[in-house]
Amino acid sequence: MSQAKGSSQLSAVSLLALLSGLLGCTGEVNSDGVAPGSMDGNGGSADGSGAASSSGNRPGRGGGGNAGGAASGSGALPGSPGAGNGGSSSTPPPAGAGAPPNPTGPAPITFECDPQASSAETPLRRLTMAQYRNTVRELVSSITENDATARSAVDAALEQLPDDRREPVPQDLHGSYRRLDQTVQQAHVDSIYAVGLAAGKALTQGALLTRLAGACATDSNANNDAACRDDFIESFGARALRRPLDEEELEFYRSVYGDDGAADPAAYADLVTVFLSSPQFVYFVEHGEVESAEHPGSYELSAYELASRLSYQFWQTAPDAELLAAAENASLLDPAVYDGQVERLATDPRGRATLDEFFADWMKVEELSPLDKNANNALFKAFAGANLPKASLRQAMIDDVVDLLGYYSWQQPSPLSEVWLSQKSFARDADLAKIYGVSAWNGSDEPPQLPDGERAGLLTRALFLSTGSANTRPIMKGVFIRRSVLCDDIPPPPPGVNATPPELRPDMTTREVVEELTEMDGSVCSGCHRALINPLGFATESFDALGRYRTEQELFDEDGESIGSKPVDTRGVPRILSDDTSEVGGALELMNKIAESGKAEACLARNYFRFTFARWENLSQDGCTLEALRAPLAQGGTIPELAEAAARSPSFRRRAF
């Protein structure tokens, strides 16, 4: 046995050097870990306030009173690819104009496919922290089996990994998808290194070393030590890197182990640490094999690269044995075999957690403010009455929306129109069910039917209506629907716009306050608010700031005393389609307009594109892929079928340089 080297020979500095070497060509990381092009709040916000946040914090939905003044739009940099509608410039209306702006035109309902369009360059992506955790846990559990102590040690290290965040981008300063988060900060380096150390130590203790590397690593026969080491590097390395190692890599990992090759638990621990810290483990390193004849600069992925893309797309972890076998014999490159694997992965129950992540990011559920933060406030207590929320109500509202989307994806696969028109309740929490006026759903039986004529569809659920205050936020609701559901662009607010939030008044409804602040004739705010924002938010004013149905808004004085009520007005011209000037009477008619427009399918296709490819779409370059995603939805397809369409698109199987 050689002298134990121990994993102390490796360091976080070494890991940083490895990662930096790979990252140097990506342009994704700078000294403070912020992706170039992201904005820290100084370029306008989309919270409806029209005020840029000087702190760089992303405001929560309805949480901070930032809902007054003129609403911001996309935050897109003028002319940036994919900004608003395909990279066109957004220009605010001139001061005092007050006319409905239309700088980029409406978002497309269908996408123009140019088969000759050059493919956008594929960014080098790291695993999300969720994907990294899943991959490490599967590797470790396959070796530890029933050794709870070893698994617990690795789990403790995995819990120290930074969480992914919905990455703010110029087109969406509130944050888009966690898969777009490519920052690498010192916390990532330190925690990834700590995971490698913990796994290396845990897997080389006692009998586990035999399970890790074979009996040759622990017997007394020195003649088989070098072969044992090489076999381990090849077998464990292929599992960790999701492909066979080439000769240069084999030589590198032999050097990590040590020159003499003598059996040494500490040397095996070093190997585990380096494998789990390797850039090839942490990143999707793709080279492709054959250049596309139709798209110079784009290369068809190898079978192993394709297996990894598929597995992480649907399951958020490394390929399983069946997928690796199809990569090893190259049958995965056969279209029929590939389609079969797509269907297998997409319909496996493991795929539900991945779609749930998409749903949560698309609906920006994290922006719901804590609903109990004002529980001791006299005004809020008077407003909430018997529905004074507990801390658990916030998560119940999030689960309600994710369960609705999951139900029509898995339990009752349905066209997207059901998402906008459903009158079923998915509230499992008794307090939320009470707000809806129904019994709690048990999660398996037919969901309860909501009271007739009150609410229908996704956007009438409490998640989108609640604010953590006694006041609704129609501006924020309007901005969310316009941008996240319809994918329309909203110009940024003019400089120096009034950012006064619409607070409750004892003599006016919230709508009246908002109209007074944002729709004054000749105001720089009125153009966007009248045409693009306010009507969408006003349509749901039949629900209060806890999501309760109402026909009148109760009015309070500053001490929380009720002083009367006024009827709510939900009428407006939402302009779901830019040339549609017909009026809706409230939320139910608005949901029907959205369902009939075709825009929701096109916008969902754009959002799933962002989730799949971890980048913003460019309408001129990505039109073919976007149309391939939209078309199944427009023909009555389900959201899981949208996911399959993304994996079957030619862009998914290529890498552009």
476: nearest Cα among 26, 126, 140, 65: 65
pLDDT score recorded for residue 440: 98
SS percent in the chain: helix, strand, coil, step 5: 45, 5, 50
Partners of 120 in the β-ladder = none
Whether residue 63 is predicted with pLDDT greater than 60 in this model: the reply is no
Look up residue 646 and give its two tokens: 């993304």
pLDDT score recorded for residue 494: 75
C-alpha 78/C-alpha 89 separation (Å) is: 4
Dihedral pair phi/psi, residue 466, rounded to 5°: -85, 150
C-alpha 380/C-alpha 60 separation (Å) is: 18
Whether residue 375 is predicted with pLDDT greater than 60 in this model: the reply is yes
What Å distances lie between residue 333 and 301, 407, 645, CA to CA? 9, 33, 17
Look up residue 618 and give its two tokens: 């460019």
C-alpha 307/C-alpha 333 separation (Å) is: 10
Is the CB of residue 616 less than 8 Å from the CB of residue 76? no
Burial class (CB in 10 A: 0-12, 13-18, 19+), 440: middle
pLDDT score recorded for residue 522: 77
What integer is the mean pLDDT of 643-656? 95
Look up residue 319 and give its two tokens: 């390929």
Whether residue 288 is predicted with pLDDT greater than 90 in this model: the reply is yes
Q: Mention every residue, 6+ apart, whose C-beta is less than 8 A from residue 360.
A: 366, 398, 402
CA torsion sign for 368, 370, 374, 375 is positive
C-alpha 200/C-alpha 189 separation (Å) is: 17
Partners of 343 in the β-ladder = none
pLDDT tens per residue across span 302-336: 999 999 999 999 999 999 999 999 999 999 999 99
Whether residue 102 is predicted with pLDDT greater than 50 in this model: the reply is no
DSSP characters for 163-207?
A: PP----BTTBTT---GGG-----HHHHHHHHHHHHHHHHHHTSTT
Instruction: Categorize the per-residue pLDDT at 19 as very low, low, confident or very high, splitting at 50, 70 and 90.
Output: low
pLDDT score recorded for residue 93: 33
pLDDT tens per residue across span 515-543: 998 888 877 788 889 999 999 999 999 99
Residue 211's identity, in one-letter code, is R
pLDDT score recorded for residue 520: 84
pLDDT score recorded for residue 18: 53
pLDDT score recorded for residue 122: 81
The set of long-range contacts for 254-263, using a CB threshold of 8 Å and a minimum separation of 24, is: 254/229, 254/230, 257/229, 257/233, 258/2, 258/5, 260/2, 261/225, 261/226, 261/229, 262/1, 262/2, 262/222, 262/225, 263/1, 263/216, 263/217, 263/218, 263/222, 263/225, 263/228, 263/229
- Mean residue pLDDT of the chain comes to 85
pLDDT score recorded for residue 190: 96
Dihedral pair phi/psi, residue 150, rounded to 5°: -65, -45
Task: Check residues 34 and 409 and name the one with the higher pLDDT.
Answer: 409
C-alpha 539/C-alpha 238 separation (Å) is: 56
pLDDT score recorded for residue 295: 86
The 10 Å Cβ neighbour count of residue 36 is: 8
Whether residue 47 is predicted with pLDDT greater than 60 in this model: the reply is no
Among the ranges given (68-77, 158-167, 197-206, 477-486), the one the predictor scored with the smallest mean pLDDT: 68-77
pLDDT score recorded for residue 502: 78
Q: What is the DSSP letter of 567?
A: E
Whether residue 545 is predicted with pLDDT greater than 80 in this model: the reply is yes
Is the CB of residue 469 less than 8 Å from the CB of residue 370? no
pLDDT tens per residue across span 237-268: 999 999 999 999 999 999 999 988 899 999 99
What integer is the mean pLDDT of 493-504? 72
Whether residue 577 is predicted with pLDDT greater than 60 in this model: the reply is yes
Whether residue 71 is predicted with pLDDT greater than 60 in this model: the reply is no
pLDDT score recorded for residue 524: 79
- Using DSSP's 3-state secondary structure scheme, residue 489 falls into coil
| Alpha-helical regions (H) of 581-638 | 587-597, 599-613, 623-634
The 10 Å Cβ neighbour count of residue 141 is: 14
